[in-house]
């Protein structure tokens, strides 16, 4: 983007300024003015001129609140030191850009969407970036741990220091920040960015006596109407309904705000539009990989009381023989009782957006794993495999739901190892693959030799088989079960989904 004005322009380059809205839309835009209160009885809004301080009022028949959100700024020690920033608007971004010189050390507090995007941008400008997250993983609430760990792995490969379970307590310095104080110790910093999240701007709504929901955002119905029939709300100041769980949620996203704004505008003008709700669909690019999610994570689904089945499925994003094919890893989450798909996550350098968007449609209309596996998706080698990634993942999910496939996640395998459990971790790849890269503590028996070497394997131990993507791992499970082995599983996703260190 060459000019920041492009953010406020139409696709043909016309800037959406007050003149544009007056001439094209017939809307009067009042700038340099702050709304400070609502008199619901008189149906008046109090306005204050930000330069002169003069107070005026404006009457309304219908009122729409779109007051957005505010950055969360905890009461850290020495929070007023210079070079500690939040990034909410264009001016914040401009200021940070001016301060961000190559070689400087920046400490980012919060590893959500904004924190990760800032980390990428500043690392690419040559700054030394530390990204700290108080919770156990990055992108909490957006990704499950095994997908988040793959993103962390990539961030570290790009030179970003990532700290999880790291609580920031304050800052030190004379006039400008010099160090960040955490429960992990002190970290030097020339710049600090607070990217902890946002909270809904509800002060005026509260003062007016409007209902505030359990999410601490303005409560609205499907028509975006507040507890006052004459007042609507949309965007980051209000809550939404989650399509899968049915629960009220606070998910401030630009896509959601635009759709809610359209519904609120139609209804304030006397129409009858409905906002169907959200799935929390999210997508971002992190250096060379893409990350996407829609619906419920496994963690969220379990918290809502679902008994879930999951799948980790890595594969090329198009026919493996076509030039430019790149890997992606999908995670599917489904309800064991009904087979309904509850959520999908994806990451990798390949095309995740089309899989996430397909999943959005499927989940919105209540598709099961069976229905997802039967979707007639577009196929040609430049665009997809004959069996698209999403279809393959759905087929694995079907096999798991009916008990044919017995998978275990890399995280559970790691926990077993740390607990000292006695199991055989069986690598069924080729000797060449094993020599190139391998997981510590595994035994190699190539799949093609498995039937010949059954006598080498213990029948009194749990066996967990894996390969590059775990298709051969699943085949190994079936071979061993047919040979009378009673406790056999395959590791979901294989080596490509293993988020821990590998031996070279």
Residues 397 and 291 in one domain: yes
Position 465 in a domain? yes
Position 244 in a domain? no
Position 5 in a domain? yes
**pLDDT confidence band for 214 (50 / 70 / 90):** very high
pTM: 0.93
Position 356 in a domain? yes
Q: State mean pLDDT over 281-306.
A: 97
**pLDDT confidence band for 117 (50 / 70 / 90):** very high
pLDDT per position as a tens digit, 312-326? 999 999 999 999 999
Q: Say how many domains are in the chain.
A: 5
What one-character-per-residue DSSP string does 386-422 give?
SS-HHHHHHHHHHHHHTTS--EE-HHHHHHHHHTT--
Q: State mean pLDDT over 467-490.
A: 96
Q: State mean pLDDT over 347-353.
A: 97
Q: What is the pLDDT of residue 420?
A: 95
Position 260 in a domain? no
Nearest to 180 by CA among 110, 92, 127, 117: 110
Residue 499 has pLDDT above 90, yes or no: yes
What one-character-per-residue DSSP string does 237-255 give?
GB-EEBTTT--EE----HH
Residues 90 and 125 in one domain: yes
Residue 1 has pLDDT above 60, yes or no: no
Residues 457 and 440 in one domain: yes
pLDDT per position as a tens digit, 78-103? 999 999 999 888 888 888 988 899 99
Residues 10 and 37 in one domain: no
Residues 331 and 377 in one domain: yes
Residue 7 has pLDDT above 90, yes or no: no
- In angstroms, the CA 73 to CA 199 distance is 10
Residues 302 and 350 in one domain: yes
Domain end among 342, 374, 401: 401
**pLDDT confidence band for 5 (50 / 70 / 90):** confident
- In angstroms, the CA 463 to CA 447 distance is 14
Q: Find the CATH number of the domain harbouring 450.
A: 3.40.250.10
**pLDDT confidence band for 218 (50 / 70 / 90):** very high
Position 255 in a domain? no
Q: How many helices (H) and strands (E) does the chain have?
A: 13, 27
Residues 52 and 137 in one domain: no
**pLDDT confidence band for 378 (50 / 70 / 90):** very high
Q: What is the pLDDT of residue 2?
A: 58
What percent of the chain stands above pLDDT 70? 99
Domain end among 182, 198, 214: 198
Residues 12 and 38 in one domain: no
What one-character-per-residue DSSP string does 303-334 give?
HTT--EEEEEEEEESS-TTSTT--EEEEEEEE
Residues 9 and 55 in one domain: no
Q: State mean pLDDT over 2-21.
A: 84
Domain range enclosing 6: 1-27
Angle at 313 between CA 290 and CA 461, to 5 degrees: 135
Residues 323 and 391 in one domain: yes
Q: State mean pLDDT over 449-477.
A: 96
Q: What is the pLDDT of residue 11?
A: 86
> Please, what is the average pLDDT of the chain?
96
Residue 394 has pLDDT above 80, yes or no: yes
Q: State mean pLDDT over 148-173.
A: 97
Position 111 in a domain? yes
Position 254 in a domain? no
Q: State mean pLDDT over 445-474.
A: 96
Q: What is the pLDDT of residue 89?
A: 81
Domain end among 198, 217, 233: 198
Q: What is the pLDDT of residue 119?
A: 97
Residue with the bigger pLDDT between 10 and 314: it is 314
Residues 51 and 118 in one domain: no
Q: What is the pLDDT of residue 49?
A: 95
Residues 289 and 368 in one domain: yes
> Would you state the structure tokens that stand for residue 498, as one six-digit string?
């293993």
Q: Find the CATH number of the domain harbouring 353.
A: 3.50.50.60
């Amino acid at each position: 983007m060459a000019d920041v004005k492009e953010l406020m322009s139409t696709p043909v380059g016309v800037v959406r300024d007050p003149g544009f809205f007056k001439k094209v839309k017939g809307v009067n835009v009042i700038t340099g003015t702050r709304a400070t209160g609502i008199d619901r009885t008189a149906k008046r809004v109090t306005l204050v001129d930000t330069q002169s301080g003069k107070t005026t009022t404006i009457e309304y028949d219908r009122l729409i609140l779109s007051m957005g959100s505010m950055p969360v700024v905890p009461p850290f020690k020495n929070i007023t030191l210079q070079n500690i920033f939040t990034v909410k608007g264009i001016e914040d971004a401009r200021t940070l850009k001016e301060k961000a010189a190559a070689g400087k050390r920046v400490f980012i507090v919060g590893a959500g969407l904004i924190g990760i995007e800032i980390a990428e941008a500043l690392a690419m400008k040559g700054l030394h970036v530390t990204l700290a997250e108080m919770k156990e993983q990055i992108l909490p609430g957006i990704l499950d741990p095994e997908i988040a760990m793959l993103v962390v792995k990539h961030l570290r490969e790009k030179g970003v220091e990532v700290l999880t379970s790291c609580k920031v307590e304050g800052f030190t310095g004379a006039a400008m920040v010099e160090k960040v104080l955490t429960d992990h110790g002190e970290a030097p910093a020339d710049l600090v960015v607070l990217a902890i999240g946002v909270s809904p701007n509800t002060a005026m709504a509260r003062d007016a006596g409007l209902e505030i929901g359990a999410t601490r955002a303005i409560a609205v119905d499907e028509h975006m109407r507040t507890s006052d029939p004459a007042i609507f709300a949309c965007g980051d100041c209000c809550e939404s309904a989650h399509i899968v769980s049915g629960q009220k949620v606070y998910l401030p996203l630009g896509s959601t705000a635009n759709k809610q704004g359209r519904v609120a505008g139609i209804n304030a003008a006397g129409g009858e539009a409905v906002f169907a709700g959200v799935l929390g669909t999210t997508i971002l690019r992190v250096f060379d990989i893409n990350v996407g999610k829609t619906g419920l994570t496994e963690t969220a689904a379990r918290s809502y009381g679902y008994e879930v089945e999951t799948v980790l499925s890595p594969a090329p994003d198009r026919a493996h023989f076509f030039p430019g094919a790149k890997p992606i890893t999908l995670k599917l989450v489904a309800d064991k009782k009904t087979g309904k798909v509850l959520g999908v996550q994806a990451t990798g350098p390949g095309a995740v957006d089309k899989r996430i968007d397909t999943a959005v449609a499927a989940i919105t209309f209540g598709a099961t794993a069976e229905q997802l596996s039967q979707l007639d998706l577009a196929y040609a080698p430049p665009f997809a495999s004959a069996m698209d990634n999403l279809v393959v993942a759905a087929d694995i999910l079907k096999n798991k739901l009916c008990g044919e496939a017995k998978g275990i996640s890399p995280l559970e395998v790691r926990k077993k190892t740390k607990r000292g459990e006695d199991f055989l971790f069986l690598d069924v790849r080729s000797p060449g693959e094993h020599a190139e890269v391998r997981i510590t503590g595994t035994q190699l028996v190539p799949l093609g030799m498995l039937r010949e070497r059954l006598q080498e394997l213990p029948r009194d131990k749990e066996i967990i088989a894996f390969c590059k993507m775990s298709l051969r791992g699943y085949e190994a499970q079936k071979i061993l079960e047919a040979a009378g082995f009673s406790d056999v599983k395959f590791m979901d996703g294989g080596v490509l989904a293993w988020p821990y260190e590998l031996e070279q």
